[in-house]
Structure 1
């Protein structure tokens, strides 16, 4: 998997752009800055935005190339981020140590999804905010019309609201919905897409 992402991120251009995901930006601006974790952060666009508005940012990704580009973007915008190359199973942050966790287009095999969400939740403080935007199972239809709209082509790696309901029982849900959006995130998230959005506060 790391080879795939290293190759994808080897281009000097930022394939998902240099500006933050719009849902992440909107939700983060509602919160007071603290300590945030960004798993599968890629080229750093969300991490750098969070750092710019005062957050202490921790991030990780499979890809060395992703980390390199994220650090370059942070340097360009004169901010500091803490970024490591790791799988979610390998990271060893202290439990209940983050004020926010944001999962933006982080997709995993079916057998890994529950473990990923469980671990990310365990790292969030009670009262902390969880922000998520991921591609829905209906995204496969959008890919057929426009391959550049993004996302995995494996149905099991995509999400729907029903599968998230058992997990979100540990949260005060502020928003949970599937919706159509117009993505403008570089060359690989471009055009109409179907996403699942979740925003909640850990109980």
Structure 2
């Protein structure tokens, strides 16, 4: 099963796989920023994009899943906000360079061989002085997955994050926060329990 088919199947159900409330780290960091334009790659069913739109952000999102896009637009309508949502693979997505005030990669895991290329492409869409917010599973998260399948995350170790690799991917940023942390997730059905994540808050030079 291809990745697109996997996500379409996961998002085809009535409920929201990762819930409808925003990621806690994204919510915390966005609260300290002036609302502007933000891009959310691999945004799935739209929980983060819709929340940010309710906070006054001009929100752009994309994901490879048609079903995810449909759910995101439904959630936006239920919250009386508009979001710009594109169904696209990351390699095909196009935005003007230096368009966005913020870029948020929330559990946006890409194949290891392509990760750096994709991250640098996405960062090109961010304005100098723009903010980068990342939360994703670290390579140590594989230990938590073995203990608790509901912890979530890719099973492909190459798709899990390494802090030093991420710093190199985004080497034209100044890092305010960059750390691996153990957290307890409660995001819908598929992010539940103890997890090892990497959290980054940075500014593009």
TM-score, scaled relative to structure 2: 0.98
Counterpart of 2:174?
172
Q: Take 1:152 and 1:73, find their aligned partners in 2: how far apart are those partners?
A: 25
CA contact (8 A) 2:120 2:170 kept: no
Counterpart of 2:52?
50
Q: Take 1:21 and 1:165, find their aligned partners in 2: how far apart are those partners?
A: 22
Shift of 1:162: 1.6
Shift of 1:18: 0.3
Counterpart of 1:126?
128
* Correspondent of 1:186 among 170, 184, 188: 188
TM-score, scaled relative to structure 1: 0.99
Q: Take 1:169 and 1:160, find their aligned partners in 2: how far apart are those partners?
A: 14
CA contact (8 A) 2:106 2:134 kept: yes
Counterpart of 2:64?
62
Structure 2: 5+ residue stretches without partners: none
Q: Take 2:167 and 2:24, find their aligned partners in 1: how far apart are those partners?
A: 24
Counterpart of 2:74?
72
Q: Take 2:101 and 2:19, find their aligned partners in 1: how far apart are those partners?
A: 26
Q: Secondary structure at the match of 1:121?
A: helix
Shift of 1:172: 1.2
- 1:137 and 2:133 correspond: no
Total equivalences in the alignment: 203
> What is the root-mean-square deviation of aligned Cα atoms in Å?
0.7
- Trace 1:19-98 onto structure 2 (pairs within 5 A): 19-98=21-100
Shift of 1:186: 0.3
Q: Take 1:50 and 1:170, find their aligned partners in 2: how far apart are those partners?
A: 26
Give a deviation string over 1:31-53, Cα, whole Å, max 9, x none: 00000000000000000010000
Counterpart of 1:195?
197
Shift of 1:98: 0.2
